[in-house]
Structure 1
Amino acid sequence: MAKDVLCEVNSCVHWAGDNRCGAETIYIVNRSSQEAANSAETDCKTFESK
């Protein structure tokens, strides 16, 4: 498991400064029904707008 999760989306309520994510859990899904081949094919469901 990653000790620190980095994120540059500072419009999220979980953004904790220094590009850190403060969420207790992270939920990321595929954008389509196929297996993702790169990060552009995924979405972070943990995101909540500030």
Structure 2
Amino acid sequence: MAQEILCEVNNCTYWDSGNKCTAEAIYVVSQKGQQASNSEDTDCKTFTPETH
């Protein structure tokens, strides 16, 4: 299993410097419930907008 998750969504609560995701678990789904053909067909449901 991957030990390091990289993410460029820097307005997510779990984003950290170096594009590191600090979430304990990641939940990724296919868009619209259909089988994904590529990464553009997926969404990270772990995303939580950062609040200031």
TM (norm. structure 1) is 0.93
Is the aligned partner of 1:26 residue 2:40? Answer: no
Aligned residues: CA RMSD: 0.7
Q: 1:14 matched to which residue of 2?
A: 14
TM (norm. structure 2) is 0.90
Q: Which structure shows the bigger proportion of residues in strand conformation?
A: 2
Equivalent pairs, count: 50
Unaligned runs of 5+ in 2: none
1:1-50 alpha-carbon deviations (Å, 9 max, x no partner): 10100000000000011100000000000102321010000000000000
Q: Which structure shows the bigger proportion of residues in helix conformation?
A: 2
